[in-house]
Structure 1
Amino acid sequence: MASGCRHECAADSVRLNPPSSSIDAPRPHPQNHGEGAPLTRSGHPYETHVLHRRRYRHRARLSRLRRRRRQPEDGRDRPQRRRQDAQRPRPGQHHLPGPAARLVHRDQRQVQGADRRRGEVRDVRLGQRRADEDPDVGAVRSGPRHLLLGTTFTPTAYATGAFLELKDDDWKKLGGKDAFLPATLGISGPDAEHQVGIPFTSRPFVMAYNTDLLKAAGIDKPADSWDGLLEQAKKLTSGGTYGLAVAYADGFDPWKFIWAMSVQAGNPLVKDKKASLNDPTTLKAYQTYLGWLATDKVVNPAAVGWKNAQAIADFGAGKAAFLPMVSATSKVTLDKSAVAGKYAYAIMPTIPPGQTSKPGNGVGATSILSGDNLVVAKYTKNKDLALALVKLLTSPEQQESYYKTFGELPTNATAAKKLQSDPALAPIIDSASKASGTPFNGAWSQVQLALVNVVVQSIPALKDGKLDETKLKALIADGQKAAQDALDKSK
């Protein structure tokens, strides 16, 4: 090391292992560091480079410490939080196929350009609701052009008055009502003249069954009545195999069973803003559904804590003969399970419990009218462009692409007809045509919760393998009151 040098040249030179190429060969140091001091290509000594690097790292550490003091509880600084939040998909936001994505971007550019000229900022991502609104929901002035809603939520959305009611001219721009499966239009509005929902996906529910287990038991096909299904399930329950796989702890499945059995028996649950959860037909529906586990013992006792995915997994492992209340999306999972090639779909029973045939006032509903609807906000400035996007998304080509990607059945009549050629999907398409809509009332979501709550409150007794009839009636009475209160407050 040269006398008087304030840099630890030798030590740093050894640490850095400078290249030995002819380009970086030792040259006289301009600051009297002596002959042989290693230089970079730019002529700076490695020692100076090391100091610069240390100084940069020290400043970077200080900067991080300062930012950390300003960080919120989630541990992200403001720029990082903005970047990550902007990239995160919003609920209902979909990654659309090429042509649809281009049309969405075109819509966004036009809307955002107009907003900048007015000095406003909007986020028009599909499915994201970010709006400046008055106390009255119907007074919303900005937000996304389109929203994707579950069919049972459509009545609530309609009650807000914030969405475009489709006239005959609007339907023509969408290709006409004939372009859609007739049943899927059943929950687009309260009647054919007042519709806001445009069918986007169809999700009818069916029942999967293990063909090998049924064949071994000498059963040709699933029964068409709930009582008949129970008898078959008892016959198929033995050892570690059960007749039914049912998700009692799921937040979405239980009420669908109660609804189906009730409407099949002639009880719509809601009519003219009057709830009828305390009807004997609904009590019988609960007794049947809860009895499968508590008294009939045709369901795995562990099912008291199952979600839908666990019921599908149990059936997929070959441990259950029937899997009721599943949609076409289950096919992807089951085709990779132990029952691949050994299962089939069938429509669920349409004859209510305690009956040998459908009553005259009953509805032979195979499923709720399930799926998703697209709605267009009333404040949309370019209605034609908004409807053009919906027409593209509901075209046969895009519906087929969406089915292949997500497993959701098409609502487009042409696309749905093509899928009927698949034997595995034929029963599901059949169920879609026989599905029935839930009551079109803005309070239906609260009625639905009341139906689920009866099952939730019954779970402790089910864990003990009991069904307390007195408590069940009290829970149904509480559900009736909650449902009626919600209906009284609805518009």
Structure 2
Amino acid sequence: FPSGVASSVGDSQVTVPWVADTRVLFYRTDILAEAGIDAPPTTWDQLRKDAKVLAGRGEGQYGYYIPQWDSPLPLEITWSYGGDVVDGDGNIDFDTEAFNAAADTYLGLYADGSVPVNGDFDQTQGFISGITPMLMSGPYLAGGIASAAPELEGKWDITTIPAGVEGEATSLFAGSNLGVWFNTDQKTASLDLLEYLSSVEAQLSWYSINGELPALSAALEDDSLTSDKLVAIYTEQLASSKSLPLVANWDGGTGADLLAALNVIALTGADKDSTLQAFFDATKGAPTN
């Protein structure tokens, strides 16, 4: 996957992919059916409509879950609307039509009363209980659901994330890479280990142990995985996924500022236009690697 080999300095590749991770849409088939929704949403507009219907089931019920700590989510919506937050010169620029559309969708879910507002909401329990019957998460959640609520077998499913009006369903590419320190005195042994861990055999074995997806296409094409419906969806989504912008300290800097702006609008009623403009001005022009 192209995003898995984006860790380069100049023309030099400095690490190799180890495991891959992406996000898909989890949904409760039983609850959606009871609400008259016969298929999962394929666009963000449809997700918002469906979430509002599901939130109408009664007090304390919602349609979707937005983690208030999840800075990649607004980017995933932006990508799915066919845009980006990095301009043609490789610098950060959130002040785009696609991001503004994504912000409208994100904030609209709050305005509709379709998502919980408490910051400590537990996504797994919310999904199992049915309080939030739709959410985006990674493959690890499937194991958590199966382990904590085996009685829900056949009552939930996954699909690729929604697309924008003219975009595509572009999710987050995450995971882990492997590298060797330049000053190690065990270079040969380290490279041997790296080569082994990068093999199809090792990646399949690792997946069987803890469920982390292989980063190698050849491993994902192995018969032991192609027969797994969930893995097929993960693989489809990985083919349409992107990494976060390579800015210095995303979590503590740009990503934190993004969440602060959106959360203060959604949770306290701060003025949307002025809050977002201040965020645009504060982050515009930050370089990416």
Q: TM-score range by the shorter chain?
A: 0.7 to 0.9
Q: Contact conserved, 2:14 with 2:179, CA < 8 A, in 1?
A: yes
List aligned pairs for 1:302-451, cutoff 5 A.
Answer: 302=118, 305-306=119-120, 310-324=122-136, 326-335=137-146, 336-337=148-149, 339-351=152-164, 355=165, 357-358=166-167, 364-417=168-221, 418-439=224-245, 441=246, 443-446=247-250, 449-451=253-255
Match of 1:289 in 2: 106
Unaligned runs of 5+ residues in structure 2 are none
Match of 1:223 among 28, 41, 50: 41
**C-alpha distance in 2 between matches for 1:204 and 1:350:** 15
- Secondary structure of the structure 2 residue equivalent to 1:387: helix
- Cα–Cα, structure 1 residues 245 and 376, in superposed 2: closer, same or farther, change >3 Å? same
**C-alpha distance in 2 between matches for 1:247 and 1:185:** 25
1:242 maps to amino acid: Y
- Cα–Cα, structure 1 residues 245 and 345, in superposed 2: closer, same or farther, change >3 Å? same
User: Does residue 234 of structure 1 match 2:52?
Assistant: yes
**CA deviations over 1:236-286 (Å, ceiling 9, x no partner):** 2221331102211x2xx2x21221222333432123232211223222222
**C-alpha distance in 1 between matches for 2:90 and 2:218:** 37
| Superposition deviation, residue 365 in structure 1 | 4.9
For this pair of structures, how many residues does the alignment match?
A: 282
**C-alpha distance in 2 between matches for 1:281 and 1:373:** 30
User: Does residue 245 of structure 1 match 2:91?
Assistant: no
- Secondary structure of the structure 1 residue equivalent to 2:8: coil
**C-alpha distance in 2 between matches for 1:340 and 1:245:** 21
- Cα–Cα, structure 1 residues 462 and 350, in superposed 2: closer, same or farther, change >3 Å? closer
TM-score by length of 1: 0.52
Which structure has the greater CA radius of gyration? 1
List aligned pairs for 1:256-271, cutoff 5 A.
Answer: 256-271=72-87
| Superposition deviation, residue 431 in structure 1 | 0.8
- Secondary structure of the structure 2 residue equivalent to 1:371: strand
- Secondary structure of the structure 2 residue equivalent to 1:454: helix
- Secondary structure of the structure 1 residue equivalent to 2:171: coil
| Superposition deviation, residue 384 in structure 1 | 3.5
**C-alpha distance in 2 between matches for 1:269 and 1:457:** 15
- Cα–Cα, structure 1 residues 196 and 450, in superposed 2: closer, same or farther, change >3 Å? same
**CA deviations over 1:196-254 (Å, ceiling 9, x no partner):** 12100111111100010122233332222111111111222221331102211x2xx2x
2:131 maps to amino acid: K
Q: Contact conserved, 1:450 with 1:483, CA < 8 A, in 2?
A: no
**C-alpha distance in 1 between matches for 2:3 and 2:194:** 15
**C-alpha distance in 2 between matches for 1:458 and 1:314:** 22
Q: Contact conserved, 1:203 with 1:371, CA < 8 A, in 2?
A: yes
**C-alpha distance in 2 between matches for 1:386 and 1:266:** 41
**C-alpha distance in 1 between matches for 2:99 and 2:153:** 36
**C-alpha distance in 2 between matches for 1:447 and 1:329:** 21
List aligned pairs for 1:72-111, cutoff 5 A.
Answer: none
**C-alpha distance in 2 between matches for 1:330 and 1:419:** 18
**C-alpha distance in 1 between matches for 2:169 and 2:244:** 10
List aligned pairs for 1:63-212, cutoff 5 A.
Answer: 182-183=1-2, 185-189=4-8, 193-212=11-30
**CA deviations over 1:270-329 (Å, ceiling 9, x no partner):** 232322112232222222212211x11111233xx136xx122211212122112x1111
Instruction: Select the structure with the greater relative contact order (CA < 8 A; seq sep ≥ 6).
Output: 2
2:155 maps to amino acid: K
Match of 1:25 in 2: none
TM-score by length of 2: 0.85
- Secondary structure of the structure 1 residue equivalent to 2:230: coil
| Superposition deviation, residue 427 in structure 1 | 1.0
Q: Contact conserved, 2:20 with 2:215, CA < 8 A, in 1?
A: yes
**C-alpha distance in 1 between matches for 2:284 and 2:204:** 39
**C-alpha distance in 2 between matches for 1:208 and 1:323:** 5
- Secondary structure of the structure 2 residue equivalent to 1:386: helix
